[in-house]
Chains A and B, each alone.
Chain A
């Protein structure tokens, strides 16, 4: 079973849940928050990395500046003066310009979108992507990291509710939405719940920082019939452990039960 850990709002505790859930149940972990991967801070071991590429057009000498490529590109990623000049950072790698060039003056070449790192700790393997700074879209890299995923995995998703988050949860069998009990947390939980429901995913909620003076998240879950899978207390001790990059050894049972409750 693949379990994705997601949230609309950032900083609600996705990484905490994903890392501890993976380690204490000995399941391989995939950090798909490629813009800001953090799981590696908690999983120590020998690392192996490789460059990840996507395809972008390159212009050959026979370009006659006819401008077809510029006209078909929907992303303003090509400008034409004396010849065509592609802008790889804006390119979506759709391949239309190369295919439609009447002079066959374009070819696709590899362009670095990031790197993929595998870390083998004593307990599990962590696989994560790290997006090259300046790349706009995380989706190409997320897709490549996902190709390494087996049928059992814990997935740490990026925050938000747009394409990178959708891509990250799309192959999961179950989604844990981590929410913090604040008006912000509630607002973004509703958005995230809308996305995963629309994708037809089964999901439940883990309340992190439980004990904050706001009951709106639990009330919402009750009203909507969303299962609250567990609550992690608001505690300085947990926050400090997180700040140092440590696992929550004291809460091992909690994470074992959390997994058993879902699987």
Chain B
């Protein structure tokens, strides 16, 4: 079983459209690892088979009866999570480092489990789907991504799927790093804009850092063919595998608006071609 992450650096380049399209083609198992703004379920219309709580973190809580008001926790907390005014913990700022818990001379601080999201195991018309939702504003997205990915991997092994597709978040930080951990390849879906190019270079650097084999797909390539050529040139000069160009297709926008999925038309066809190319090499 091969694991393939779909990443982009820049948001809104078409990761979800691409991932959903290949799921509808090949079935198998797919994971939505963009846990703080997940969108794949909107297209895949899954039937949830099982839901689990995600206990994402522990947070400090000061037991007021035991607190002597010495202020050590306030002094030592690096995250400004303890208010000096009566000593209580601001849950939003607490990083769960337990520094205060470990130093409190009165043992007045407890670390409590906090649920920060839900994990879903679902079935789609084409295969299986593992997804999640992080409580808005929460942290530890990386850990939730890892949980989603591990579960999806197990399902893929159990059902004997050839591929596990991982739809990742934008950026280069912890959720993306967690999405890339242990994958066999990453498909970078980019767009021919100055921002798309800049962001692509940074995710390529990330792939290199973690020794992940990248493939590049340029979506909406005809928006600016000069930049598309620049991207292709960069790939060929740096020996990065180029999986193909996808044209801008207004019909896909209508299909997204009406949620008529699987998509049809020239963009969807090209995405399938790009995927087949990646599949062949893997």
Q: Name B37's contact: one of A136, A161, A166 (CB within 8 Å).
A: A161
When the two chains form their complex, are residues A9 and B11 in contact, meaning their CB atoms are under 8 A apart? yes
- Residues facing B in A192-234 (CB within 8 A) are 192, 194-195, 198-199, 212-214
Judged by a CB distance under 8 angstroms, whether A112 is at the interface is no
When the two chains form their complex, are residues A136 and B170 in contact, meaning their CB atoms are under 8 A apart? no
Q: Name A166's contact: one of B9, B137, B173 (CB within 8 Å).
A: B137
CB proximity of B258 to chain A, nearest CB, Å:
8
Q: Roughly how many angstroms separate A187 CA and B142 CA in the complex, as a whole number?
A: 21
Judged by a CB distance under 8 angstroms, whether A251 is at the interface is no
- Residues facing A in B24-78 (CB within 8 A) are 34, 36-37, 39, 42, 58, 76, 78
CB proximity of A43 to chain B, nearest CB, Å:
12
Residues in A neighbouring B264, C-beta threshold 8 A = none
When the two chains form their complex, are residues B193 and A36 in contact, meaning their CB atoms are under 8 A apart? no
Q: Roughly how many angstroms separate A134 CA and B177 CA in the complex, as a whole number?
A: 8
- Residues facing B in A1-51 (CB within 8 A) are 8-12, 15, 33, 35-36, 38, 41
Of A79-87, A117-125, A237-245, the one with at least 4 CB within 8 A of chain B? A237-245
Of B156-164, B194-202, B270-278, the one with at least 4 CB within 8 A of chain A? B194-202
Residues in B neighbouring A33, C-beta threshold 8 A = 171
When the two chains form their complex, are residues A38 and B10 in contact, meaning their CB atoms are under 8 A apart? yes
Of A57-65, A92-100, A147-155, the one with at least 4 CB within 8 A of chain B? A92-100
Judged by a CB distance under 8 angstroms, whether A144 is at the interface is no
Residues in B neighbouring A136, C-beta threshold 8 A = 142, 173-174, 177
Q: Roughly how many angstroms separate A179 CA and B139 CA in the complex, as a whole number?
A: 23
When the two chains form their complex, are residues A36 and B194 in contact, meaning their CB atoms are under 8 A apart? no
Interface string of A70-84 (1 = CB under 8 A from B): 001011000000000
When the two chains form their complex, are residues A242 and B195 in contact, meaning their CB atoms are under 8 A apart? yes
Judged by a CB distance under 8 angstroms, whether B102 is at the interface is yes
5 closest pairs, A vs B, by CB? A10-B11, A11-B12, A94-B97, A35-B171, A214-B257
B residues near A, CB below 8 A? Answer: 8-13, 16, 34, 36-37, 39, 42, 58, 76, 78-79, 92, 95-99, 102-103, 134, 136-139, 141-142, 169-177, 191-196, 198-199, 202, 205-206, 209-210, 223-224, 227, 253-254, 256-259
A residues near B, CB below 8 A? Answer: 8-12, 15, 33, 35-36, 38, 41, 72, 74-75, 92-96, 99-100, 131, 133-138, 158-166, 180-184, 187-188, 191-192, 194-195, 198-199, 212-214, 236, 239-240, 242-245
